[in-house]
Homo-oligomer: A and B are copies of this chain.
Amino acid sequence: MKVLILGGGQLARMLVLAAAPLGIRCQVVDPAAESCAAEVAPWHRIEWAALPEHRELLAWADVITYESEFVPTAVLSALATQHKVAPSAEVLQLSGDRWHEKQWLSRLGVPVAPHRCIDSLADLQAATAELGFPCFLKWRQQGYDGKGQWRLQAESDLAAVWQAAQGRPAILEAGIAFEREVSLIASRRAGGELVCYPLTENRHQEGILIHSRPLRDDPLQAAAEAHARRLMQAVNYVGTLAIEFFVADGQLMANEVAPRVHNSGHWTLEGAETSQFANHLRAICDWPLGSPQLLAPTLMLNLIGSWPAESLALAEQGAHLHLYGKAPRPGRKVGHLTLRASSEGELMSRWLRVQTILARRSAAPLP
Q: With A40-B40, A310-B287 in contact, is A273–B318 under 8 Å at CB?
A: yes
Q: Are B273 and A340 closer than 8 Å at their CB atoms?
A: yes
Stretch at the interface among A147-155, A253-261, A321-329: A321-329
Q: With A40-B40, A273-B340, A296-B295 in contact, is A323–B288 under 8 Å at CB?
A: no
**Of B13, B23, B307, B317, the contact of A273 (CB 8 Å cutoff):** B317
Q: Are A314 and B288 closer than 8 Å at their CB atoms?
A: yes
Main secondary structure of the interface of A (DSSP, over half): loop
Stretch at the interface among A14-22, A79-87, A210-218, A243-251: A14-22
| Cβ–Cβ < 8 Å partners of A317 in chain B | 273, 290-291
Q: Are B296 and A311 closer than 8 Å at their CB atoms?
A: no
* Interface membership of A320, Cβ < 8 A: yes
* Interface membership of A206, Cβ < 8 A: no
Q: Mark A279-313, 1 if CB is under 8 A from B, else 0.
A: 00010011110110001100000000001001100
* Interface membership of A25, Cβ < 8 A: yes
**Of B21, B311, B320, B335, the contact of A17 (CB 8 Å cutoff):** B21
| Cβ–Cβ < 8 Å partners of A288 in chain B | 311, 314-315
* Interface membership of A179, Cβ < 8 A: no
Nearest chain B residue, comparing its CB with the CB of A18: B17
**Of B23, B314, B318, the contact of A335 (CB 8 Å cutoff):** B23
**Of B25, B296, B311, B314, the contact of A39 (CB 8 Å cutoff):** B25
**Of B274, B296, B314, the contact of A287 (CB 8 Å cutoff):** B314
Distance A94 CA – B23 CA, assembled complex (angstroms): 35
Residue among A22, A285, A323 with max Cβ neighbours from chain B (10 Å): A22
Q: Are B273 and A323 closer than 8 Å at their CB atoms?
A: no
Distance A13 CA – B19 CA, assembled complex (angstroms): 13
| Cβ–Cβ < 8 Å partners of A22 in chain B | 310, 321, 323
Q: Are B17 and A39 closer than 8 Å at their CB atoms?
A: no
**Of B41, B290, B296, B311, the contact of A314 (CB 8 Å cutoff):** B290
Distance A107 CA – B273 CA, assembled complex (angstroms): 44
Closest 5 CB pairs of A and B: A23-B323, A21-B322, A288-B315, A288-B314, A291-B317
A23-B310, A25-B325, A40-B41 known; 10 new pairs, CB 8 Å cut-off, are: A13-B20, A17-B21, A20-B40, A21-B320, A23-B321, A273-B318, A273-B340, A287-B310, A290-B314, A295-B295
Q: List 16 A-B contacts (CB under 8 A).
A: A17-B17, A17-B21, A20-B39, A20-B40, A21-B320, A22-B321, A22-B323, A23-B307, A23-B321, A273-B318, A274-B320, A282-B314, A287-B311, A290-B314, A290-B317, A295-B295
